[in-house]
Each structure stands twice: as structure tokens, then as C-alpha cells.
Structure 1
Amino acid sequence: MNKIDDYMTPAEAAFRWGIPQETVKSRLKPSLYKKQIEEMLKKGLIKYFQHPDGKRREWILSVEAMKKWFGEEQK
């Protein structure tokens, strides 16, 4: 496996873990999980890009973050 495979979009993460994409996206809502999100951002386990003119964040998740939230990846 290449190092790049350790990082993914929420859509890929949902597919790889066999869970609904909305489940992954809900973990990225500061109104529900602010403390967890801040901790993972500090550790570099997740990141986002938000264009200065935009409202929507585009997220990148690490395998480590997904394991912490949802356990082992579906094989």
C-alpha cells in the first residue's frame, strides 16, 4: 500500500469502512463533535480546506482517524 492510501475523502472513507457517507460527515460537524475535531486537527489526523469566499469545507481523513472513530476498515 502506498502512503497516499493512508488519506482519503469522506466518500472514500465511507466506502472503505462500509458505512453511510452521512455517518462519516456527521463526525465532521463541529456542532456535534467540536472537541474531537479540534484534537484530531491538532494531531494531523484530519484536515480541511475552506476557500476564503466559501462556506463549505472539503475534508481529508487519515486511516488512523477512521480507526479511532469506527474501528478497523472493512476488508
Structure 2
Amino acid sequence: MNVQIHPSYFRKIVSSEPFSLMLDVAAASGSITHKAYVCLVIAHFTKLHPTAINPAVEAEINRRFVMSPVCVAGGDK
């Protein structure tokens, strides 16, 4: 069975301060370890399997990376 987190519930979670900061760090660092940690923490918080959270976390990190000041200012990332 394919279970995924509801987008509005995910948005509510990632807008809270601790998760938002974790996603910002993961997007800024680009580290797969940071991404995995955020995925595991949100999965634990929501009591869902990490594979259900991973696509949403990946999309959110990519969204934050594109919107980061380094990319907007024409940095080298």
C-alpha cells in the first residue's frame, strides 16, 4: 500500500520553527545526511514510514534551495 503525507498537513509541520530550521540547513548544505535526518525526524513526528515522507521532504528542500539567497544573488551553488 502506498501511503503519503497529506500536503496541507506537511505544510503545517514544515512551517513550525524547528522543522523549518532543519529544512533550511538541509537546503543550504546540500548534504544527503541532513536530508535523511530531516526525513527521519518528520517521519517519527508523524508516525509514518520515511518512504512516505521522503518525496515531500525532497520537494521542500529543492524549493528552499531554489529560493535561497545564494541562488537568487547568483552565487556559485
TM-score of the superposition, structure 2-length normalised?
A: 0.31
Higher strand share: 1
Higher helix share: 2
Q: Which has the higher contact order (CA 8 A, sep 6+)?
A: 1
TM-score of the superposition, structure 1-length normalised?
A: 0.32
